[in-house]
Amino acid sequence: MEKTPLSVVILTKNEEARITKCLDSASFADDIIVVDDLSSDKTVEIAKKYTDRIFIRKMEIEGTHRNWAYAQAKNTWVLSLDADEIVTPELKEEIIRTLKNTPPENGFTIPRRNYFGDYWVKHGGWYPSPQLKLFRKDKFRYEEVAVHPRAFMDDPCGHLKSDLIHHSYRNLEDFLRKLNNQTTYEAQKWYNQGKPMRLGRFSYRAIDRFIRTYIARKGYKDGFIGLIIGFNAALYQIISYLKYREIIFNKKNESHLS
């Protein structure tokens, strides 16, 4: 099968259970790059069956890590994937067709079909949830922060129609683990930026996020899963704020002891 001149960049960390499906779905590209964050399972061993372009590099700041990974690409066009994402056959054909036509755009958003376990979450802002995943390497970069980095790219930007499958959370335990990790990074980011964070503001934001996710964006139509996602939107704000206050408290204690 003729390969498409496309660099697929995949970030991994202990993904032996999911990496095979991701790599299989990306096998139409002529350059597959895996950047592994010191996995202790068989992730790298599995990846070697698909590519010899494997880099071992600890992720400390997500935005910096992603930008470094994209810089390793051999091709002009990059498709950015995480190990829990799968390119559907329809998306593969659309990408091949789009790149063959030498598009004037600098990048394309791709709709994501997000899953909680085996459940496809269709509401609460989770679908189509387009993400900028296909782009020209020299026209795109991430904000170099540790959590939820913003993507920056020069216009014009196009929009593909076919879905990318995203297994967001394996189960409730995975959901809570990621919430804990992400709120820690978020609180540290706020502290590093020196932003004044007040309880009233974050109480409002927590309520606002729940209403937007569960009611305005009809998350209630996803039943129990929708309720979990609505609470997550609120809890993210509350827990991030509490961790931010804890950082300030600890820093003050350190200064008094020194």
pLDDT one-digit tens code per residue, 22-66: 999 999 999 999 999 999 999 999 999 999 999 999 998 889 999
So what's the pLDDT on residue 256? Answer: 64
d(CA 166, CA 62) in angstroms, rounded, equals 19
**Mind spelling out the 3-state secondary structure of 223-253?**
HHHHHHHHHHHHHHHHHHHHHHHHHHHHHHH
What pLDDT band is residue 189 in, cutting at 50, 70 and 90?
confident
d(CA 211, CA 204) in angstroms, rounded, equals 11
Q: If you average pLDDT over every residue of the chain, what do you get?
A: 93
- The answer, yes or no, to whether residue 110 has pLDDT greater than 80, is yes
So what's the pLDDT on residue 74? Answer: 97
Q: Torsion-angle region of residue 117: left (phi > 0), alpha (psi -120 to 50) or beta?
A: left
So what's the pLDDT on residue 149? Answer: 84
What pLDDT band is residue 145 in, cutting at 50, 70 and 90?
confident
Residue ranges and CATH numbers for the domains of the chain are 4-169 (3.90.550.10), 172-257 (no CATH)
- The answer, yes or no, to whether residue 146 has pLDDT greater than 80, is no
So what's the pLDDT on residue 257? Answer: 63
Q: Which tokens sit at 13?
A: 């960390």
State the DSSP code for 154: P
So what's the pLDDT on residue 258? Answer: 59
So what's the pLDDT on residue 161? Answer: 97
pLDDT tens across 197-235, in order? 787 887 888 999 999 999 999 999 999 999 999 999 999
Task: Answer for the pair 237, 205: CB distance below 8 angstroms, yes or no.
Answer: yes
Tell me the one-letter amino acid at 144: E
So what's the pLDDT on residue 192? Answer: 84
Q: How much is the average pLDDT of 96-115?
A: 96
DSSP string covering 15-64: -TTTHHHHHHHTTTEEEEEEEE---SSSHHHHHTTT-S-EEE---SSHHH
Task: Answer for the pair 37, 11: CB distance below 8 angstroms, yes or no.
Answer: yes
pLDDT tens across 65-75, in order? 999 999 999 99
Residues linked to residue 11 through DSSP beta bridges, in sequence order: 35, 82
So what's the pLDDT on residue 202? Answer: 79
